[in-house]
Amino acid sequence: MKENILIVEDQFIVANDLRIMLQRAGYQICGIAPSVAKALDLIAAKKPDWILLDIFLQGTKTGLDLAGQLREMDIPFIYISANTNQGILEAAKSTEPYGFLVKPFREKDLLVMLDIALYRHEQSKKLNRPKEITLQEQIERISAKAESREEKLKQSATALQSIIPFDCLNIIKNEASGEAEQIYLTKTSLNIFQVRSLNDLFEITGVSQRDYRSWKISPIKAKNQFYNNFDFRRLKMDSLWLKALSDQFHYESALCFDIRAADGYTYKLTFFSTEPDSYNQLQLDLLQKNEGTLQYLISGVVSKKEAEVTQVPPAKVAAVPLSIPAASQNFNGIIGQSPLLKAVFNKITIVAPDQTSVLILGESGTGKERIAQTIHQMSPRKSKTLVTVNCAALPINLIESELFGHERGAFTGATDKRIGKFEQADGGTIFLDEIGELPLEAQVKLLRVLQEKEIERLGGSYTKKVNVRIIAATNRNLEKEVAEGRFRLDLYYRLNVFPIELPSLRQRKEDIPLLASYFLDRLLKKSNRTVNGISNSAMQTLMDYDWPGNIRELEHLMERSLLMASGDLIENIDIAAVPTVSNPGTQGSVRIRTLEEMERDHILEILKICKGKIFGAGGAAEMLNIPSTTLNSKIKKLGIKYEFVMSPGSPLL
């Protein structure tokens, strides 16, 4: 007998369509609930096996609120929603659903998503999947590290990305007297956060301290509010500093959240995004749920001065190449002892003996291919082939042939039969690296292989069953790719059965001495150099760097440093300037303004020419050839104010 399903949906027509489709497929429907309160009553009475859950429901509570309770009750659920922007997907992801179905949908889409969700749930129960490290635990670990306040702030910003997307975070301490203390954490083109002072931003934006003070800058007054599209543009019109900052970095939306900290002060957190509609009520709800964590962030990191942080003395390397302790070699040669890396080892140990698909996530250079090799070597398939496919390097017109093979004469130039990568990996493992680069057409065919476990060669007339374990990897944000229509949602959930997220090197800097010593030891065995180790100052340089290229960059840097060393120690680490993508808001680039901004600037220019006069002969309405009432409406709508047009003492008529 198929599962008993509860539908939580506030639109009756959609809910009834779902009921008809599911009953036709053999599922039992135990009820339809339009609100969280009604859903909880039906759950208690009917005890459903699965729940289809809309996000926006009747009443004050959302589907996300119910999802937290469902996790506690151990009831699996799938979201059904018409909203697929990144903010919604990030908020939904934090509740760990088994699927996400986008409205409107076809019956086939619904049944496929249910099939995927059932498979993921079975695998999850079988594997007893480890609990993810919570945001609270991450912030506590960061706070406990003996590192600088700046480093802790950068790591905290990275951790906060798990509940809310942002490109800049401004933290302001509101005090009754004096200027408010504030911190800016801005994301670079390499997705690395930097701590910037107000003076840094003055230099970048070209705003003088005199102008800043004359603008009477004050924090955004609204408490716990978000601003998208036009609302954000109106907000910029009320603050010249916010306008200068947003024009420079192309911020298009913002969210404000107030925290009452243990020191009695209120701290305002303002998140900025370059996307025009990044924020909604769901993110505010998530921040509210994590208020305790944010208070800990304020007290443990933000409000602590540098003097309160105990610095770690630079790691000293012996006069001979370090032998890496056996404890750090006991996991298939992967070097590192940080808590984040140990959590990865734990996941590998759990999933490797099974046949479950694995999705490895992480930045470039974090060792995703090495993790895939380790999973294969620890699996029952280790005696079979591990076939690696770089999806980004596949020619677009030959992707299907490369993956699934082709028959002779299948297309022009196909003079021989070709065995595809999936067939080569039969009985073993296939590693699909850079899966996020795969075109949508190929994603459809890959999804079919994952579901049916069979392939059909190009130009062939029959299908062939294949027994292949899938390991996929990407450095892309797949939730964002899904939101922007570049990656199929059903394929994402099919691959994301057991995700393993690799920490960047800047998140586990305590492993740098081990890694640097390991690479130096390995390089010395291949060369005739007499270098015996790394000096304290050189090691401190390694510890202070942010490593956008991660472990791969460290390995190459150690090789270059060894070649440049003139004595028996590596004294200097010459870190080359990192090439960055030029910011579209920097000088020399052309920023494309919106029609609304162009209209506002044009009206302002005309008003200045007319010295603020709107009505009558020689007025702005006459020059613009529009009724004065229309011009007045536009002035109000566009937020044009007296001080933008006239000098003091000249009335706006």
The SS3 assignment for 293 reads helix
What is the pairing mode between strands 225-227 and 181-187?
unpaired
Cis peptide before 325 (omega within 30 of 0): no
C-alpha–C-alpha distance, residues 167 and 169, integer Å: 7
Residue 453, domain extent: 366-498
C-alpha–C-alpha distance, residues 420 and 12, integer Å: 48
Within a domain: residue 471? Answer: yes
Same domain, yes or no: 66 and 199: no
Same domain, yes or no: 123 and 164: no
Sheet holding 50-54, edge to edge: 28-33, 4-8, 50-54, 77-81, 100-102
Query: Looking at 518-532, 533-547, 637-651, which range is the least confident one?
Result: 637-651
Residue with tokens 């020619």: 395
For 91, the token pair is 């908020």
Same domain, yes or no: 268 and 191: yes
Q: Which residue has the higher pLDDT, 471 or 285?
A: 471
C-alpha–C-alpha distance, residues 333 and 377, integer Å: 12
Same domain, yes or no: 160 and 297: yes
Cross-strand bridge partners of residue 454: 465
Question: What is the model's pLDDT at position 306?
Answer: 59
Cross-strand bridge partners of residue 81: 102
Q: Is the pLDDT of residue 651 over 50?
A: no
Same domain, yes or no: 48 and 171: no
User: Final residue of a domain: which of 308, 342, 358?
Assistant: 308
Q: Which residue has the higher pLDDT, 401 or 586?
A: 401
- CATH number at 25 reads 3.40.50.2300
pLDDT above 70: percentage of residues in the chain: 87
Helices (H), 98-148: 107-127, 135-144
Q: Compute φ and ψ for 427, nearest 5 degrees.
A: 90, -15
Within a domain: residue 533? Answer: no
For 33, the token pair is 């609930």
Whole-structure pTM value: 0.69
Averaged pLDDT for residues 264-285: 88
What count of Cα atoms within 13 Å lies in the side-chain half-sphere of residue 327?
6
User: Final residue of a domain: which of 127, 161, 176?
Assistant: 127
- CATH number at 235 reads 3.30.450.80
Q: Which residue has the higher pLDDT, 125 or 280?
A: 280
Same domain, yes or no: 167 and 280: yes
Same domain, yes or no: 303 and 160: yes
C-alpha–C-alpha distance, residues 627 and 614, integer Å: 10
Residue with tokens 């109000």: 636
Same domain, yes or no: 293 and 163: yes
- Average model confidence (pLDDT) across the chain: 83
Within a domain: residue 608? Answer: yes
Within a domain: residue 24? Answer: yes
Same domain, yes or no: 372 and 479: yes
Within a domain: residue 520? Answer: no
C-alpha–C-alpha distance, residues 585 and 423, integer Å: 49
Q: Which helix (H) or strand (E) holds 344?
A: helix 339-351
- CATH number at 458 reads 3.40.50.300
Same domain, yes or no: 159 and 296: yes
Q: Which helix (H) or strand (E) holds 268?
A: strand 266-273
Question: What is the model's pLDDT at position 592?
Answer: 58
Question: 356: which DSSP letter?
Answer: -
Rounding to the nearest 10 degrees, give the CA dihedral for residues 47, 50, 56, 62.
50
Cross-strand bridge partners of residue 464: 455
Torsion region of 4: left, alpha or beta (phi above 0 gives left; psi -120 to 50 gives alpha): beta
C-alpha–C-alpha distance, residues 569 and 561, integer Å: 10
Let me know: does 317 contact 193? Beta carbons within 8 Å: no
Q: Which helix (H) or strand (E) holds 50?
A: strand 50-54
Within a domain: residue 433? Answer: yes
User: Final residue of a domain: which of 308, 336, 352?
Assistant: 308
Let me know: does 57 contact 14? Beta carbons within 8 Å: no
pLDDT digits (tens, 9 = 90+) for 454-498: 888 888 888 889 999 999 999 998 887 887 788 888 888 888 888
pLDDT digits (tens, 9 = 90+) for 356-410: 889 999 999 999 999 999 999 999 999 999 999 999 888 877 888 889 888 888 7
Q: Compute φ and ψ for 92, nearest 5 degrees.
A: -65, -40
Same domain, yes or no: 480 and 608: no
Return the beta strands (E) in 484-532 as ranges: 499-501
Query: Looking at 125-134, 195-204, 487-496, which range is the least confident one?
Result: 125-134
Question: 326: which DSSP letter?
Answer: G
Within a domain: residue 8? Answer: yes
Question: What is the model's pLDDT at position 126?
Answer: 66
Residues for the chain: how many in total?
653
Within a domain: residue 317? Answer: no
Let me know: does 550 contact 515? Beta carbons within 8 Å: no
C-alpha–C-alpha distance, residues 426 and 387, integer Å: 10
Q: Which residue has the higher pLDDT, 311 or 339?
A: 339
C-alpha–C-alpha distance, residues 287 and 267, integer Å: 14
309 band by pLDDT with thresholds 50, 70 and 90: very low
Question: What is the model's pLDDT at position 168?
Answer: 95
175 band by pLDDT with thresholds 50, 70 and 90: low
Radius of gyration for the alpha carbons in the chain, expressed in angstroms and rounded: 29
Return the beta strands (E) in 274-379 as ranges: 358-361
Domain count within the chain = 4
Measure Cα distances from 152 to 298, 341, 410, 505 in Å. Answer: 11, 18, 57, 14
pLDDT digits (tens, 9 = 90+) for 436-445: 999 888 898 8
Q: Which residue has the higher pLDDT, 310 or 559?
A: 559
Same domain, yes or no: 180 and 287: yes
